[in-house]
């Protein structure tokens, strides 16, 4: 696949192998980082969904209480509580966009991209090594 036949010296092969091995080491480190991100995003996505469902249920409960409370300090306190809960819901929904299922899939794509780059560098190293053996 690569035009390794254009390489005429062992030194050229060695130089390319050194560069390719450095690239592979960098990609391997990047792969480790991406794997950690996928793990973190996976657990964060589950956590955010669970907390968000709890907040939504709490808002529904506060709405039920507000519907039957007479005007007064207790009702005002519950209205303030509802505002705080709605703000918390807003923050969780925004966080879900950044760390939820969609973000997890994006990280999985990044990881797969790195895996394919490593595989391609391995093919390159194998071809250059095979050609070097013929010199």
CATH of the domain at 128: 1.20.120
Q: How far is CA 4 from CA 14, 18, 21, 103, in A?
A: 12, 15, 16, 40
Q: DSSP state, 135?
A: -
10, 132 contact by CB (below 8 A): yes
Give residues with Cβ within 8 angstroms of 89, minimum separation 6. 52, 55, 56, 59
pLDDT class for 21, splitting at 50, 70, 90?
very high
Q: What is the pTM of this model?
A: 0.71
What is the domain extent for residue 22?
Answer: 4-133
What is the Cα–Cα distance from 75 to 32, expressed in whole angstroms?
Answer: 52
Kindly report the length of the chain. 135
Please state the domain count of the chain: 1
Please determine, for residue 44, whether its predicted confidence score (pLDDT) is greater than 90.
Answer: no
pLDDT tens for each residue of 58-100: 999 999 999 999 999 999 999 999 999 999 999 999 888 888 7
Cα dihedral value 97, 101, 104, 106, nearest 10:
-70
């Amino acid at each position: 696949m690569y035009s390794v036949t254009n390489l005429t010296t062992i030194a050229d092969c060695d130089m390319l192998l050194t560069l390719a091995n450095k690239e592979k080491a960098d990609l391997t480190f990047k792969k480790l980082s991406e794997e950690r991100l996928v793990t973190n995003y996976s657990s964060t996505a589950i956590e955010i969904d669970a907390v968000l469902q709890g907040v939504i249920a709490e808002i529904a409960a506060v709405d039920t209480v507000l519907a039957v409370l007479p005007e007064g300090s207790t009702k005002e306190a519950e209205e303030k509580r509802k505002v705080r809960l709605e703000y918390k819901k807003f923050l969780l929904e925004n966080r879900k966009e950044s760390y939820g299922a969609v973000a997890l899939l994006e990280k999985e794509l990044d990881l797969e991209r790195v895996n394919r780059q490593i595989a391609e560098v391995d093919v390159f190293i194998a071809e250059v090594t095979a050609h070097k053996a013929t010199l």
